[in-house]
């Protein structure tokens, strides 16, 4: 499975060093929960809230770091659901870097091919996918579908029906 492979990559990189894992809310919650259960090093876990979409419409990114643990001098793994254009990962990474971690790496469940708009790539990726709008396993469309236990692509008519 992809999350097990992802956890194996993280374990191999960090070995048994203490790690601070920061999940990007809300989409990464399912991945974050499954991932940390597969990591056997000492962990601190926290969250940062970032929002840039309403349905399929992009809006300016808003970041709320209030639930983020202290990262000064710590090895930090930033976990997000999907790497699409890359703006969310770059901006949240910049915020965390400004707080003085010892190191910062990133992990994503999905990397969408053909959408990247930044000069950055996640360090760990569970799956590469085509350019489709996907939901499930934490990913949503208009706050629906997060609870699906799998990832599914929405058809164009599914997108237009919920926009209202």
| Catalytic one of 75, 80, 81, 84 | 84
What is the rounded CA–CA span in Å between residue 94 and residue 91?
5
Which structure tokens are listed for 74? 């710590």
Name the phi and psi angles at 88, rounded to 5. Answer: -60, -50
Residue in the block written with tokens 């309403």: 54
84 is an active site residue: yes
User: Which string of DSSP letters, residue by residue, matches 91-108?
Assistant: HHHHHHHTT--SEEEEEE
CA nearest 152: which of 130, 135, 140?
135
**Catalytic residues, which ones?**
84
């Amino acid at each position: 499975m992809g999350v097990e492979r992802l956890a194996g990559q993280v374990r191999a990189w960090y070995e048994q060093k203490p790690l601070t894992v920061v999940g990007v809310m809300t989409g990464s919650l399912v991945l974050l929960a499954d991932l940390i259960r597969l990591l056997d090093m000492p962990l601190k876990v926290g969250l940062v809230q970032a929002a840039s979409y309403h349905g399929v419409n992009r809006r300016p990114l808003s970041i709320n770091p209030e639930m983020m643990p202290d990262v000064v001098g710590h090895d930090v793994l930033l976990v997000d659901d999907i790497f699409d254009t890359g703006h969310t990962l770059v901006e949240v990474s910049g915020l965390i870097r400004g707080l003085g971690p010892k190191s910062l790496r990133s992990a994503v469940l999905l990397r969408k091919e053909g959408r990247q708009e930044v000069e950055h790539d996640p360090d760990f990726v569970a799956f590469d996918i085509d350019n489709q709008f996907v939901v499930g396993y934490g990913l949503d469309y208009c706050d629906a579908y997060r609870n699906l236990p799998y990832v599914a692509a929405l058809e164009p008519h599914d997108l237009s029906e919920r926009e209202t």
